Chain A
Amino acid sequence: MHPLVVQYRAVVVKEVRQTVRDKRVMALLTLVPLVQLFVLGFAVNFDVRHVPTAVVDRDGTVESRDHARTLLAGDTLDLKAEVRDEQSAEELVERGEASVALVFPPDFEEHVLRGSGARVQALVDGSDPVRSGVAADAVARHAALRASQHLREQARVRGETPPRPAVELVPRVLYNPELATAVYVVPGIAAMLLLIVTTIIMAMGLARERESGTMEQLQVTPLRPGILMAGKVTPFLLIGLVDVGLALSVGAWVFGVPLRGNLGLVALATLLYVLSTLGTGLLIATLSRTQQQAFVGGFLFMLPAVLLSGVMTPVRAMPDWLAWVTYLNPVRYYVEVLRGALLKSAGLPDLWPQVLLLAVFGAMVMAVASRRFRKTTA
Chain B
Amino acid sequence: MSTAIEVEHLTRRFGAFTAVNDVSFTVGTGEIFGYLGANGAGKSTTIRMLCGLLKPTDGHARVAGHDVGHEPERVKERIGYMSQRFSLYLDLTVRANLEFFASAYGAHGRELEHRIGEMLERMQLTAIQDEVTGSLPGGMQQRVALASAVLHRPRIVFLDEPTAGVDPVQRRSFWALIRELAAGGTTVFVTTHYMDEAEYCARIGIMVDGRLVALDTPEGLKRTHAPGRVLEVRGPKLAPALDALRGEPGVLDVSRFGAGATVRVDPERLPGEALGHWLRARGVDPLEMEESAPTLDDVFLALTAGAQRGED
Contacts and interface: CB of A to CB of B under 8 A. Distances in A.
Interface of A: 1, 3, 6-7, 9-11, 13-14, 17-18, 21-22, 212-214, 216-223, 377-378
Chain B contact patch, size range: 20 to 34
Given A213-B85, A220-B81, A221-B76, A7 B92 contact: no
A21 B90 CA distance: 11
B contact patch SS: loop
A7 B100 CA distance: 9
23 contacts: A1-B108, A1-B109, A7-B106, A10-B103, A13-B103, A14-B92, A14-B96, A18-B91, A214-B87, A214-B89, A216-B83, A216-B87, A217-B83, A217-B88, A218-B104, A220-B76, A220-B81, A222-B73, A222-B77, A222-B105, A222-B106, A377-B53, A378-B55
A271 to B, nearest CB: 25
A351 B9 CA distance: 61
A17 B104 contact: no
A377 B76 CA distance: 13
A220 B89 contact: no
A220 B100 contact: no
Q: Which of A1, A218, A220 has the most CB of B within 10 A?
A: A220
B79 interface: yes
A3 B100 CA distance: 13
Contacts of A213: 83, 85-87
Given A6-B103, A220-B76, 6 more contacts: A21-B91, A212-B90, A219-B53, A220-B53, A222-B104, A378-B54
Q: What 5 A-B pairs are tightest by C-beta distance, nearest first?
A: A10-B103, A213-B87, A3-B106, A213-B85, A221-B104
Contact of A214 (B76, B88, B103): B88
Contacts of A18: 89, 91-92
Contacts of B107: 6
Contacts of B90: 212
B21 to A, nearest CB: 21
Nearest to B92: A17
B99 interface: yes
B122 to A, nearest CB: 20
Contacts of B51: 220
A220 B52 contact: yes
B83 A10 contact: no
B101 interface: yes
Q: Which of B104, B107, B108 has the most CB of A within 10 A?
A: B104
Contacts of B77: 222
B95 to A, nearest CB: 11
Contacts of B81: 217, 220
A115 B79 CA distance: 99
Contact of A217 (B54, B87, B96): B87
Nearest to A1: B108
